[in-house]
Amino acid sequence: MRVVGFGTYDSARHPRVAVLLDGLRWHGHDVREINRPWTADTASRVRLLHSPRSIGKVIFPLLTAWSQLLFDGFRERRSHPDMVVVGYLGHFDVLLARLIFGKRRIVLDHLVSARTTAIDRRVDSRVTLAVLGVVDQAALACAGTIVVDTPERLAEIPVRRRDDVVVLPVGATSQWRAVAHMWPASPSPLRVVFVGVYTPLHGTITIGEAIGALRHRGDIVFTMIGTGQDRPATELAAGSSDYVTWIDWVDPAELPSVLGGHHVALGIFGTTSKAQNVVPTKVYQAIAASRVVVTSETSPQRRLLGDAGVFVSPGDSAHLVKALTSLAEHPSELMAMRAQMQRSECDVRPEALVRPLFSRSTIGKRVMHP
């Protein structure tokens, strides 16, 4: 099968599409990419949601990328691809893909809904939310196959299109499995890492409150990587702790090694409706790297991790403090949880996740699990 990865996606920042394409390559399909990354970062997109007047600052790079996609796409159309995979944040890219590739099978990686993401990031303008709802519906209308990451996400898809949905977990690329053998030399101090963009979904203020509560304990140290709208409030909640390091940016190629130097990877702790329905990329990466995962007690995360995860109530910093303290004070518990993760049946490999995309028995049918 000939596959084209298409769009303005940035697989270094958002590796979901890389997982899909790597999995298809592993199974022997001919995969090529027509990719012109849109360079606007998450913060710029959030500002755009809050203030549409800032559109001029981000739209020119997008139009430039689209002009290149048009040229390359029409040239690639001559090869008659069997499948066109439109990567994450492809709400507009999928319109372009349908224009270029006509009746070819278009697969939209609908990892996020524009409207629910805006709500999660505290956008409350009715006009903006209505427009984003239209954007979501237009994107879905142009897709032949719609990929979501959890069964809970099906509720966001119109009933008439649910037979065209394939549920594929996000997964993790092979670079994360390569650090599974790494482990800090000593269980003390307990080394805890968070990587993210500080949105309400992540619940980082809850993490900040836990850091503040543990600020006098030198046996638990935190590494907080990333920036975003809740970063100032998270730092404020953490207070004057000497046992936290704040890092704005780590090159994506170096992140696996950074994770390998920690015992515990933090997931998400948000209380928004979106936080109840997703498993973040960082959790899949931590699974692949055999870290101990501490995250919120939600249905999709519990279903994925089972007994291999440490769960706390969403938004409950006291519960998070208790979980981390227990791991710090009982090294045997920490090692037992790592062993449980290594024995778990969480298969996050690209090759295991993508089979429904090319299985004739599942094309056009509702698939709950790969």
84-128 confidence digits (pLDDT tens): 999 988 999 999 999 999 999 999 999 888 888 788 777 888 888
308 and 283 within one domain: yes
285 and 216 within one domain: yes
* Residues above pLDDT 90, as percent of the chain: 76
**35-53 confidence digits (pLDDT tens):** 999 866 555 655 565 565 6
Say if residues 275 and 163 touch (Cβ distance below 8 Å).
no
For residues 203-219, give the mean pLDDT.
Answer: 97
Overall number of domains in the chain? 2
For residues 128-147, give the mean pLDDT.
Answer: 92
Assigned domain for 307 exists: yes
Whether pLDDT at 368 is above 50: no
For residues 201-213, give the mean pLDDT.
Answer: 97
55 or 306: whose pLDDT is higher? 306
Assigned domain for 370 exists: no
| Prediction pTM value | 0.90
Whether pLDDT at 73 is above 80: yes
294 and 251 within one domain: yes
318 and 191 within one domain: yes
Of the candidates 189, 195, 144, the residue with the CA atom closest to the CA atom of residue 172: 195
Confidence of residue 344 (pLDDT cuts 50, 70, 90): confident
pLDDT at 358: 77
180 and 161 within one domain: no
206 and 238 within one domain: yes
Assigned domain for 364 exists: no
Assigned domain for 223 exists: yes
Whether pLDDT at 362 is above 50: no
Assigned domain for 366 exists: no
pLDDT at 341: 93
314 and 243 within one domain: yes
For residues 334-362, give the mean pLDDT.
Answer: 85
Q: For the residues of 76-140, what is the DSSP string, one character each?
A: HHTT--SEEEEPSS-TTHHHHHHHHHTTSEEEEE--S-HHHHHHHTT---HHHHHHHHHHHHHHH
Assigned domain for 248 exists: yes
Q: Which residue has the tokens 């022997």?
A: 28
- How far is residue 204's CA from residue 196's CA, in Å, rounded to a whole number? 9
pLDDT at 296: 98
Domain with residue 215: its CATH number is 3.40.50.2000
| Domain span at 142 | 2-171+349-358
Assigned domain for 43 exists: yes
pLDDT at 132: 86
pLDDT at 58: 65
- How far is residue 305's CA from residue 308's CA, in Å, rounded to a whole number? 5
pLDDT at 370: 39
275 and 220 within one domain: yes
Mean pLDDT of the chain: 90
**233-266 confidence digits (pLDDT tens):** 999 999 999 999 999 999 999 999 999 999 999 9
Confidence of residue 24 (pLDDT cuts 50, 70, 90): very high
227 and 98 within one domain: no
Of the candidates 42, 72, 71, 70, the residue with the CA atom closest to the CA atom of residue 58: 42
319 and 299 within one domain: yes
Assigned domain for 363 exists: no
What are residue 179's DSSP bridge partners? none
- Output the CA angle 354-92-14, nearest 5 degrees: 45
pLDDT at 47: 57
* Residues above pLDDT 70, as percent of the chain: 91
Say if residues 237 and 297 touch (Cβ distance below 8 Å).
no
14 and 72 within one domain: yes
259 and 143 within one domain: no
pLDDT at 367: 39
Whether pLDDT at 317 is above 50: yes
